[in-house]
Amino acid sequence: MLQEQRGTLQRDIQTLQSSSLDGETFFALIDKWGWTPNLFLSAASEAPRNPKLKKILADGYKTGVDMVGTFIEELKTRGILKKEANPRLTAMGVIAVHDGLLIWEVAGMNRQEPRKAFVEIIQTMFSSLLVHPVS
């Protein structure tokens, strides 16, 4: 079963890397995997006291930063993003914005509002990195 899940995860990662990475695709995959704000924040709060969980969380973040960073590097290679765009730092920023907005959902805000905010914030973030800014 674990091998099956890994295969599914790899296909989902390929989907993220090959798609236009719009908000719908991104959030559909998050929903598919059942990654809820409560689960995330519970794991994050327990990690300092649980070395195994801390490693899992750190590995997950590293994988996430690597995956998003690879996507950003691809955008640079295609000439969509400026050469000076830093894939790792930008990926860390994208993930930080996403994870920060999860708190709103835990606090009872309608799920769509923080998701809409995420898309708008990321669009704003990336607009300064575009080779040819959209008017």
Residue 27 gets the label, from left (phi > 0), alpha (psi -120 to 50) or beta, of alpha
Integer Cα distance of 44 and 53 in angstroms: 9
Alpha carbon dihedral 63, 66, 72, 77, in 10-degree steps, equals -140
**pTM attached to this predicted model:** 0.72
Between 129 and 4, the higher pLDDT residue: 129
**Residues, the chain:** 135
pLDDT in tens, 68-98: 899 899 999 999 999 999 999 999 999 999 9
Mean pLDDT score, 12-24:
57
Query: Residue 1: pLDDT band by 50, 70, 90 thresholds?
Result: very low
Share of the chain above pLDDT 70, in %: 73
pLDDT computed for residue 130 by the predictor: 92
Phi, psi (5° rounding) for residue 95? -65, -40
Return the residue matching tokens 């898309």: 119
Q: Give me the helices (H) in 19-86, please.
A: 23-32, 37-46, 51-77
pLDDT in tens, 99-127: 999 899 888 888 889 989 999 999 999 99
Bridge partners, 81 (sequence order): 130
Residue 51 structure tokens: 């070395």
Task: Find, among 108, 109, 95, 105, the residue nearest to 26 by Cα.
Answer: 95
The total of other beta-carbon atoms located within 10 Å of residue 6's CB is: 10
Residue 37, pLDDT above cutoff 50: yes
